[in-house]
Structure 1
Amino acid sequence: MIVVWLLILVASVLANRLGGGTYQDDFSLPGTSVQIGADLLDAHSGAEVRGVSSHIVLKAAAGGLAVHRRSIDATETALTGIPHVLSVAGPFAAPSARSADGSTGYFTIRLDAFPGRYGASYITRFEEAVRPLRADGITVEYGSPLGELARAKAPARLSEFIGLLAAVVVLLIGFGSVAAAGLPLLTSVIAVAVGLSVLGLLAGVFTLSSESPTLATMMGLGAGLDYALLLTTRYRRLLHDTDDTDVAAGETVASSGRAVLVAAAAVGVALGGLCVSGVGFIATGP
């Protein structure tokens, strides 16, 4: 069985590497009043209302923004030329876009979709556009959703690694045995790796959110550890009643194993229901 699961792991990882898709964020909620209103605005309004709004905040160290009018106008022109930008309103477009002392203001950017859909590298286009402002001594900060792209990323899989370390400590305390503690961890990690590979393959057919791998890892490790712990505990308890390991394993699968299947099926049905209902940040159809 160990060899079989290792072969499944290798095959799924290779398949994902060769034919896996990419994750894309789609926050549409078809059929809801909010989405219907947004669709009506997109269909009948100008570029100043349609799409997704974001801000770029400017702060002049001295003299106010008016002193830097030339670099601000140049930046506005550059922002307008960025792909997927519908409109740009600078800090001088309206008095409300500037503070009372004139030292702080903001650009209002309207994009045709959430910028996360265009990948993490999309923010570099805005960085190039605001470079003259920073060179002119102006502090530049991004508001959401552009701020989400500009935010420094946490080390990949750091949270999962910390979770695994915590699980090791808890399992060692609970079982008092490295072998008994390591078995639930090993099966959970293999299952999560296979699941993530299959998820990558599904991303080539369906539109899956960029948060899908994190959600899958969180649920996979949590549920996998819990269920593996349930099975291992049940098996060890049955060994106290019989010395026959085959009998103990069979009774474990027949009792606790069925409970695991029912619980896992319930989770799968719940997530499938969210997908079928059209909640865009879970998944959308092919």
Structure 2
Amino acid sequence: YKGGVQIRSMHGLLGLYELPEMFSLLLTYFTIIVIINSFNLIDGIDGLAGSLGLMATTIFGFYFLKQEMYSYSILSFATAGAVSAFLIFNFQPAKIFMGDTGSMLIGLINAILVVKFINVADGPEAGISIVAAPAIGFAILMIPLLDTLRVFAIRIFNRRSPFSPDRNHVHHLLLDKGLSHRFITLSLVSANFAVIVAVYFGRNLGCTWLILYTMLLFFAGIAGLYFTRSRRPRLFVAKSLKESLPDQPGTKIVPLTKDTILEQKN
């Protein structure tokens, strides 16, 4: 609040502009919490959260440098440099892992940067004004935000805690296709960057339409992964023999041993 990191306007998103002070603060806190958790949740395979964080902080760094906002530029590039060094040892096969502390710190920094970017880029005092800045900021963080939204919705629909673990993340869907951590990471980062470029060049469409198109594109890709996913039987672990089996063809009871687990993995 004191540092000016606050969403004061929706910049035309859903037809809204200036926000009341209290609603502005609540929206800012909510946005920061969501972004922090989205980076934590996307950190499921080697290099993914770090690579997405590197891409985002690099983009923000160059923008703030052009705006001569050197404190935010230094924060962006310092984070990008630290993450770059970390990724050397975090790409598959990973030797070190960032854990919750690392992913949530990257999320916090990107949350601060994107809020500041939205306030500055589409503001009257911007040296380099960018129309539809909220849509571009949303596109920069597209993979973590939309994947978290989708997974939370699935868990709530299934009457589970939104924070309960599962294998519904986008990287899990790609892992089930037999793709490597490295290939998945590079593919998702490349796709995210392509969307950023597309949103930037289509910025005159307005925030609302751009965000809707971004969401439509993401969920269309997810739908494609679901429809082409492997149909092979999966291993279900029951707490007891009295527990009912999933209603799937080919379901059978097997002893839970190392051999049966390896068979399912292969």
Structure 2 length-normalised TM:
0.30
Task: Please identify which structure carries the higher strand content.
Answer: 1
Larger radius of gyration: 1
Using CA pairs below 8 Å that are at least 6 residues apart, which structure has the higher relative contact order?
Answer: 1
Structure 1 length-normalised TM:
0.29
